[in-house]
């Protein structure tokens, strides 16, 4: 496994994220030696979901308005319908994603996490995958949607769903180690 010692990764969520889409990449990144911080639009805790059931609450390391993309080596955007739909409206989340992308740092998006990317205007010209219900949004935003386990397009890594997490995690670690 590649070593990510010294790397710092942001995971951006709000309430309603798909819990396994945060916990699985977070654990894989930490196992590879990275520090992983949960960032949100509010302080305190954020509520995970196990599909339609409440999951665990997770401590927020920093609010987005207090965080700087310059302090991070990459970004993970978990899905969850409520999370993805809410985050796409958070200006600080949009700005954070734009700053990470402008710095050419890896951006890892799974499932409904792609809604934030659509709302930033960064999807045009990219090839991505996501939960199938986002394919029209991605196409309407100027992207190409494909139904694959993992898609790498430049510094972006996208996946469809929790079943893709092993391949997603491996691709994210590879991109961060490069």
Could you tell me which residues come within 8 angstroms of residue 13 by beta carbon, excluding any fewer than 6 positions away? 22, 38, 39, 40, 46, 58, 77, 78, 80, 83, 87
Residue 102: CB atoms within 10 Å: 10
Q: Which of 88, 112, 160, 161 is catalytic?
A: 112
Q: For 156-175, give one letter per residue: b (16+ CB within 10 A) or e.
A: bbbbbbbebbeebbebbbeb
The reply to whether 52 belongs to the active site is no
Q: How far apart are CA 53 and CA 11, in angstroms?
A: 21
Q: In the annotation, is 111 catalytic? A: yes
| Catalytic site residue from 86, 111, 116, 165 | 111
Secondary structure letter of residue 43 according to DSSP:
S
Q: Are 24 and 169 in contact (CB under 8 A)?
A: yes
Q: Name the residues annotated as catalytic.
A: 111-112
């Amino acid at each position: 496994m590649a070593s990510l010692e010294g790397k710092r990764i942001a995971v951006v969520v709000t309430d309603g994220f798909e819990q396994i889409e945060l916990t699985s990449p977070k654990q894989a990144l930490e196992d590879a030696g990275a520090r992983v911080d949960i960032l949100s639009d509010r302080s305190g805790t954020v509520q995970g979901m196990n599909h339609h059931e409440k999951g665990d609450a997770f401590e927020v390391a920093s609010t987005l308005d207090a965080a700087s993309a310059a302090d991070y080596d990459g970004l993970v955007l978990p899905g969850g319908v409520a999370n993805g739909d809410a985050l796409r409206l958070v200006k600080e989340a949009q700005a954070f994603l734009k700053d990470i992308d402008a710095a050419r740092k890896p951006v890892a998006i799974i499932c409904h996490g792609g809604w934030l990317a659509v709302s930033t205007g960064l999807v045009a010209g990219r090839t991505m995958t996501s939960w199938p219900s986002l394919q029209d949004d991605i196409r309407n935003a100027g992207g190409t949607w494909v139904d694959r386990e993992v898609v790498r397009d430049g510094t972006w890594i996208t996946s469809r769903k929790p079943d893709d997490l092993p391949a997603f995690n491996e691709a994210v670690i590879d991109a961060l180690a490069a």
